[in-house]
Chains A and B, each alone.
Chain A
C-alpha cells in the first residue's frame, strides 16, 4: 500500500508540476485560435489536436488542470475551516448549540449535492466574466461542501470535550476560548487534515459535473469540466480518441488522491 501511495503522490506532483509549467510547455496560451487548423487531429504542432474553434487542446488541458488543481484545494481549505468552525464549536459547546448546528448540517446533508450546487449557482448571475465564474464556482463548492465534515468534527470535538485532559485543563481554571484554541483545536488536526484532503477530489469531480452541465467555469477559461463538455458531441468512442485525454487525466488524478489518502479515510471515519 505504501508503494501505491508513493506512486500516487509522484503522479500528483508530476501533473501539478506540468500544469504549473503550462506557460512554458504551451507558450501560445489557452485562448489562441489557429484558424488554419480548426478541429485538427493530433500533430507535432498540436499534441492533442485543436477544438472546434481552433484552440490547442494540450494547452487548454494544462491550463485547465492548473485551475482545477489549484482552486479545488483552496475550496477544500475554505470548507474545512467552515466545518471546523461549525462542527468544532457545536461539539465543544454541546447541548442546544450542538443540536441546532447538527440540525442545520442535516438540512444541508439531506439535499442532493448537485441540486444544492445548481440551485445556489443559479441564484448568482450566470453571465459573468470568466475569472468571476471560476471564483464563484470554487467559492460555492467551499461554501456548500462543509456539512459532512462538520458532522465528523462535531463528533470528534464532543469526544475531546469529555476527555480526561480537557477535564483536567478545565479543573485547572482554563476556560472558554483558550481551552478551545489551546487544547481542543490542536487535537482535531488529524481529522481536519483528513477532511481537507478528502474534499479535494470531491470538489474536482463536482466542478467537472458543473462544467459539463454548462454551470461551471465560463469560456474561454478552460477547466476539466469545460474540457469534458467536448465529449457531448462525440458519435463513437473510436472517432476521436484524443478527446478522452482530459477524462483519463481526471481519473488518474482523482484515483491518485484516493490512493494517497487511503489512511485519511480511516482518520476521517
Chain B
C-alpha cells in the first residue's frame, strides 16, 4: 500500500518535472524578444559570426527540438547560462541555495514553534480573550503583504528568518488551531478528561495521533509558503539567495535562469508535500 503510494508520488514528481519543463521551454521559446539577440548588434563581429549566431538561434525555433535539447542538457547537469549574470545557472544555484535553505529552515522552525505553542495553548486553555488575541494577531499578519513584513525586518534590524516566520505563521496557525480544537472536542478525549487522565497524556495519546497527519499536511504546504516568502525577504533584505536570484532574473527578464529556478522550486515543493503525505500515511497505518 505504502509502496504504491511512494510510486504514485514519484511518478507525479517525474511527470511534473517533464510537463513543467515543457511548459517552461514553451514559455521561454515564445516570450517576446526570444528571437532577438543583442550580441548580433555587436559592431566587432564579422558577418560570418553574426550568421553563426543567427544559425544557433534558428536551431531553437522548433519547440520540441528546443525542449529535447534543454532536457538532455539538464540531465547532464547543465541548466544553461544566465543571460544577465553570464554564469552557468547550476553554479549560481549551487552558490546561493545553502543560504536560502538555512533561511527557510530557520523560518519554518521559528514559525512552527510559535504555531504549535500558541495553537496548543489556545486549544487547551479555551480562554476567549487569549484565543481572540491570537486570532487577531494572526489575522493582522495575514493582511500585511509579505514584502512589507520584509521591509519591517530591514527597518527594525530583525533577522530575515523572523520575517519568513511571520509570513508563514498566520497561514499555519489558523488551520492548526482549528485541527487541535476539533481534536480536543472529540468524544474519546472528553471521556479521557472526565476520567481524570493528565493533560499531557491526553495530548500525546489521544489528540496528537488523530490530528498529526493533517498537521503534517499543513507543514508540507508551509514549505511552499516559505519558498514564496523567500523572494521578498531575500530581495528586500539583501540576502544573496535563490529568492533574490529569481527576483533579479525577473527584473532582467533572464528567462533561462528564472524558468530553471521555478521548475526546481516546484520540484522541492512537490517533494515536501509528498514527504508530508507519505509520513502522514505511515502515521495513520501505525495508529
Contact = CB atoms under 8 A, between A and B. Distances in A.
Given A118-B247, A122-B249, A122-B253, A254 B143 contact: yes
B250 A119 contact: yes
B151 interface: yes
Contact of B246 (A118, A124, A251): A118
A106 B269 CA distance: 11
A124 B33 CA distance: 9
Contacts of A27: none
A258 B227 contact: no
Contacts of A192: none
29 contacts: A107-B16, A107-B266, A110-B270, A111-B265, A111-B269, A112-B224, A112-B228, A112-B265, A114-B146, A115-B246, A115-B265, A119-B246, A121-B250, A122-B253, A122-B254, A123-B32, A125-B32, A208-B145, A208-B147, A208-B148, A209-B145, A212-B148, A212-B232, A215-B251, A228-B151, A247-B148, A250-B144, A251-B144, A255-B140
Contacts of B250: 118-119, 121-122, 213, 215
Nearest to A119: B262
Contacts of B225: 112
A119 B227 CA distance: 14
Instruction: Give the interface residue-count category, chain A.
Output: 35 or more
Contacts of B270: 110
Contact of B20 (A107, A112, A237): A107
Given A110-B270, A119-B259, A212-B145, 8 more contacts: A110-B269, A110-B273, A119-B250, A122-B258, A123-B255, A201-B143, A213-B231, A250-B145
Contacts of B261: 115
B31 interface: yes
Interface in B127-169: 139-140, 142-148, 151, 155-156
B52 interface: no
Contacts of A36: none
A115 B148 contact: no
A214 interface: yes
A66 B269 CA distance: 36
Interface string A82-125: 00000000000000000000010011001111111011111111
B232 A213 contact: yes
Interface of B: 12, 15-16, 19-20, 27-28, 31-33, 139-140, 142-148, 151, 155-156, 224-225, 227-229, 231-232, 235-236, 246-247, 249-251, 253-255, 258-259, 261-262, 265-266, 269-270, 273
Nearest to A206: B145
Contact of A236 (B155, B231, B259, B273): B155
B253 A126 contact: yes
Main secondary structure of the interface of A (DSSP, over half): helix
A164 interface: no
B145 A258 contact: no
B230 to A, nearest CB: 8
B145 A123 contact: no
Contacts of B146: 114, 209
Nearest to B272: A110
The 4 nearest A-B residue pairs measured at CB: A112-B228, A212-B147, A122-B250, A254-B143
A119 B15 CA distance: 21
A205 interface: yes
A114 B151 contact: no
A154 to B, nearest CB: 17
B148 A231 contact: yes
Contact of A234 (B144, B155, B232, B262): B155
Contacts of A237: 155-156
A213 B253 contact: no
Nearest to A116: B262
B74 to A, nearest CB: 17
Contact of B255 (A103, A113, A122, A214): A122
Contacts of A114: 146, 228-229, 231-232
A120 B27 CA distance: 8
Contacts of A112: 224-225, 227-228, 265, 269
A113 B270 CA distance: 14
A213 B147 contact: yes
A235 B31 CA distance: 39
Interface in A215-253: 215, 228, 231-232, 234-237, 247, 250-251
A124 to B, nearest CB: 7
